[in-house]
Structure 1
């Protein structure tokens, strides 16, 4: 009904106005509407409707990340909730969304999308996590700096046996083995990643396994986990740290590299859950601390979340330059989905709604104290 559509538009205009966004405006972050049904859809579906309507071509903005950053800074996502978000929250309360039976879903639906996609986006190394830009002048340098930072924080030495929980395409273990003389085991739940990592590390003292982290029961001298904890889930945090603890001697170090949220939650954004990372969620600092309490001493907590905005911008530049030479299965709707994912992630870090933490832990505390490299 025209009346209902008009009321929905006025409501959306008012909300956007609070975020400094105009419909049809001439600034890069202003909303350009192509379908007038958009307003009712946004009110009914919240963030899920925002992402899906962008995928459907109902709206655009010259700076997608700029628009989404404006919305996040104004906390509009906390004021407009669709039924999907309410349902996700209820399911998270009633069930373990990251159980053994569901743990492989994110591997199949996200990490197995195609190594060609990730090779085009991620740069020289297939490292799908935040780079460290403190002294780096480009993406490849930032990723190498991050890998070296991990090794230095763990005080790796020749002969050590190292565990990588959620090893991705094997780049971190390869770097540690070649630069620091260690051996290692990497576990992942993605078949595509396991196959690639096995080829990448062929001839090195590295074992890559398609294995759930919960099945690890063997000793290591050090351990790290880069960009995997976001898939563990709050119901499993304690069990995760118990697995790590049983694999490490008292004098060992563990490094957790994870995206984190400012507020404790038990579910993720419904659009992200449906299209990008099923059954994922971001931990809060309080949740990490509670889950590791009594198992580890926190030696260092390093936040360089602003570096993720730069990393994501570099990934976006790479993938936008590569679309035309990639497989046609990455059609226009997929491209818009991927642009929304990268842009929303940029906005989350730029607005400081999400963080990037490297947390160094020891089982019993480092005698005399731990000095953290930067």
Structure 2
């Protein structure tokens, strides 16, 4: 019995050694070394990690990182190199085919499922997000064109949206997926508009109602599919990523029925480069359950016959700067949350922020702002940047 156990351990050890060799060879093509001395090199603490990467790709790699089985000083640089070398396309485990099938066959963003991301992600605690975000609690990409700080970048983004929407005092504006109300508060203060915001996060709604009690703003705990009234302008900032491909057309139909004839609708969303790809399984399980990034063609298809596209602006590279600023704030504030959230959460959140920063830096994902009208802007829509 002892000899059989030894043989089993020996076979496992040999397989793991071979797996480490395979991973090391793959990473070398991205100029990443296993147990190297550079900030982007992978520090391997267990040979099991290689098996998990080969079996489950980023799901296995992310879970192994959360468990402390490997480290990397600069995860953002690690992922930038991995994605620039397209290593994610060289490891396609058959075990993950279920993620592709369920994205195509199931409506993962149904009304019943829609509240899950609010409870799991956005309701972590307003104090936590206050420590990580800018003073307005803007949890979307900043606009760093002339900005030198996170606060400046977020204010510049909000101002850009207001100008693109051509806001005027007294207008009634709908914010689909309003978050903590940063746009609504800014637009009401600077442009004198009235706003209605819909969110699926109880914590966000509670915080926003208290913060902006002095303004003519209404925050509703409501699914977007329930909206059915007219507004002069509509905005949706960082919410379309949760809508899902099976609901893109429904979302656009809701926006069309809620927009006045001569109104404008601005859609701000992260987007992917390939139509048939699915959400990273680690991100889906631990960060944004049931998320589904759209591609540019899917948005165009959903808007067809409903809207005229007046403007399309890509500033996805700015998300890298935004995520790195969030990460710096998170690291500085972590001692306040260590006891409450624990080491596993710390490693999970660090992996989330830095892997996403690397993805935007590699231009593997994008950030688009679309401006739509129902019948076309007379004389043409002015280019605003």
TM-score, length-scaled by structure 2? 0.95
Aligned to 1:281: 292
> In the alignment, does 2:348 pair up with 1:340?
no
Aligned to 1:324: 335
SS at match of 2:260: coil
Residues 73-132 of structure 1: CA deviation (Å, up to 9, x unaligned): 111112213455311111112210000110000000000011111100002120000001
Residues 298-321 of structure 1: CA deviation (Å, up to 9, x unaligned): 111001111110011110000100
> In the alignment, does 2:85 pair up with 1:74?
yes
Please, which of 256, 262, 269 is the counterpart of residue 245 of structure 1? 256
Aligned to 1:31: 42
On the 8 A contact 1:85/1:269 being kept in 2, the answer is no
Aligned to 2:307: 296
> In the alignment, does 2:205 pair up with 1:169?
no
Q: Distance in 1 between matches of 2:339 and 2:257?
A: 46
Q: Distance in 2 between matches of 1:356 and 1:77?
A: 21
Residues 141-183 of structure 1: CA deviation (Å, up to 9, x unaligned): 1100100110000000001000000000011101101100000
On the 8 A contact 1:23/1:31 being kept in 2, the answer is yes
On the 8 A contact 1:29/1:61 being kept in 2, the answer is yes
Q: Distance in 1 between matches of 2:96 and 2:202?
A: 30
Residues 170-217 of structure 1: CA deviation (Å, up to 9, x unaligned): 111011011000001000000111111111121211110000000000
Match runs of 1:100-179 below 5 Å: 100-179=111-190
> In the alignment, does 2:215 pair up with 1:204?
yes
Aligned to 1:57: 68
> In the alignment, does 2:10 pair up with 1:10?
no
Q: Distance in 1 between matches of 2:125 and 2:73?
A: 28
SS at match of 1:265: coil
Post-superposition offset of 1:325: 1.5
Q: Distance in 2 between matches of 1:294 and 1:53?
A: 47
Post-superposition offset of 1:20: 1.2
On the 8 A contact 1:188/1:210 being kept in 2, the answer is yes
> In the alignment, does 2:365 pair up with 1:354?
yes
> In the alignment, does 2:80 pair up with 1:87?
no
Moved more, 181-190 or 59-68: 59-68
Aligned to 2:5: none
Unaligned runs of 5+ in 1: none
What's the C-alpha RMSD, in Å, of the aligned pairs? 1.0
Q: Which of these two proteins has the greater Rg computed from alpha carbons?
A: 2
Moved more, 83-92 or 293-302: 83-92
Q: Distance in 2 between matches of 1:303 and 1:341?
A: 22
Post-superposition offset of 1:372: 2.4
Q: Distance in 2 between matches of 1:56 and 1:72?
A: 23
Post-superposition offset of 1:250: 1.9
Unaligned runs of 5+ in 2: 1-11
On the 8 A contact 2:177/2:238 being kept in 1, the answer is yes
> In the alignment, does 2:247 pair up with 1:229?
no
Aligned length: 374
Moved more, 319-328 or 222-231: 319-328
On the 8 A contact 2:17/2:47 being kept in 1, the answer is no
SS at match of 2:340: coil
Aligned to 2:270: 259
SS at match of 2:347: helix
